[in-house]
Amino acid sequence: MAVIFTVGKFFLLKMQQLNYVGDRKFAWFDVPEPKLTRSDQVIGKPIVMGRCDADVTAWLPGISTVLAAGNHQRVVDPMVNLSLGETPYRTPFPIGHESVCEIVAVGSEVSLFTVGDRAVVPWSISCGKCANCRRKLTTHCQNSGDTLISGWGFGAAMGPWGGMITDYIRVPFADHMLTKIPSDVDPLMFASASDNLADAWRTVAPELKRNPEQGVCVLGGGAKSIGIYAAALAVALGSPNVVYLDFDQKRLDIASAYGAHAIEIPKKLDQLEVDLAELGEFHIGVEAASSIAGFNFLFDHIACGGTVFGIGFYFFSEQPINYFTMYGKSLTLKIGISHPATDLEDIVSFVLENNFDPRLVQTHVFDYYEADKVYGKASTKLVLVRD
């Protein structure tokens, strides 16, 4: 809730923003309430906020120190530091980058939105007009700031945007950035559309729209919700053969509820010996275990000419990728950061028109004002709701 502080003769309007402060602890920080500074902006009140699968990486034991040291030892890709700062996940930093907002203020040049509208806010900043945005590489927008990537929830390394678990956020390039949702639809349906649902969409939707007869194999367990979303979307998009592999029974049950063939596997992928040949042919593989071993497993099981998507974080040089398997089977590997602004309109339309319900993945739903106490809870998909 916004609070007025008196400083001399001046009145400063402050609000609260959740920060990760280290050691799996979180705290509310008082920060200035955002104001419109350009005519293409809106101010939004986050009413539903999802925890991204990547957020939990921030509180892995010693992750900042390990990644910084690993870069010096050349066992961590230099891009980690370029994206996340010289000391990745340096605390404290504002966290959270998935939200549906209710618009409370609108700039004079915003034509598609009015006060009271509800909209999904993509996690990364993009203008929609530069050369990269026109190529649908919106997370590499050339007009979004001085950082390599601009977005919410990762601290100063991605710009001055703060996090989305906050009383209010300022959204630039609003007509391009925002995707409206109907006022009579539960906003929980789109809690993860900002990132994780969109991340899953890009792995299966383009290929299945081209040919819905393709089989899909999803290797889950790392990016916990993205893998389930990918399997669920593949079923909903018409794939006749969707297999979801994971070591966690609760996630297997969710994938099964969506119609995927769920198979339990060992947590350590070097012990993975599942033979998928008897289950049919697979043309799309989704590596959501954040493991190079996962790539090699999928290369072995995806049919000739197929495509494997990697959506995890691959910080370390764990083992070599079997490039010759890719070569011999004419496989395509697609890996890269997500560009949700490119797909959000299609995702919202698909969810509304096909009765697709992403809420099954949401294993824990808490009140927004409890965020400092619950955000680090072990969960496949944690969501905050604010009245």
Whole-angstrom Cα distance, residue 133 to residue 317? 31
> φ and ψ at 139, to 5 degrees?
-75, -10
Domain spanning 197-335, CATH class? alpha beta
Question: Under 8 Å CB-to-CB from 198, ≥6 apart: which residues?
Answer: 122, 338, 340, 343, 344, 347
Report the relative pairing of strands 302-310 and 282-287 from DSSP bridges: parallel
The per-residue b/e assignment along 45-69, b for 16 or more CB within 10 angstroms, e otherwise, is bbbbbbbbbbbbbbbeeeebebbbe
What is the structure's pLDDT at 6? 42
The answer as to CATH 3.90.180.10 being correct for domain 14-194+340-385 is: yes
| pTM of the predicted model as reported, rounded to 2 decimal places | 0.93
What is the structure's pLDDT at 65? 83
Whole-angstrom Cα distance, residue 104 to residue 168? 9
Q: What share of the chain is helix, strand, coil (3-state, %, to 5)?
A: 35, 25, 40
Whole-angstrom Cα distance, residue 346 to residue 205? 10
What are the sequence ranges of the domains in the chain?
A: 14-194+340-385, 197-335
DSSP tally for the chain: helices H, then strands E: 11, 17
Are 14-194+340-385 and 197-335 the same fold in CATH? no
Whole-angstrom Cα distance, residue 18 to residue 27? 6
Token pair for 181: 């949702």
DSSP string, 260-286: -EEEE--SSGGG-----GGG--EEEEE
What kind and span of H or E run contains 306?
A: strand 302-310
What is the structure's pLDDT at 273? 82
Whether the Cβ atoms of residue 381 and residue 361 lie closer than 8 Å to each other = yes
For residue 206, give the nearest of 346, 35, 50 by alpha carbon. Answer: 346
Tens of pLDDT along the chain (387 residues) come to 455 444 444 445 889 999 999 999 999 999 999 999 999 999 999 999 999 999 999 998 888 888 878 776 777 788 888 888 888 889 999 999 999 999 999 999 999 999 999 999 999 999 999 999 999 999 999 999 999 999 999 999 999 999 999 999 999 999 999 999 999 999 999 999 999 999 999 999 999 999 999 999 999 999 999 999 999 999 999 999 999 999 999 999 999 999 999 999 999 887 788 888 889 999 999 999 999 999 999 999 999 999 999 998 888 766 789 999 999 999 999 999 999 999 999 999 999 999 999 999 999 999 999 999 999 999 999 999 998
Token pair for 219: 């290797």
For residue 329, give the nearest of 259, 281, 257, 384 by alpha carbon. Answer: 281
Token pair for 100: 């549906």
What is the structure's pLDDT at 64? 86
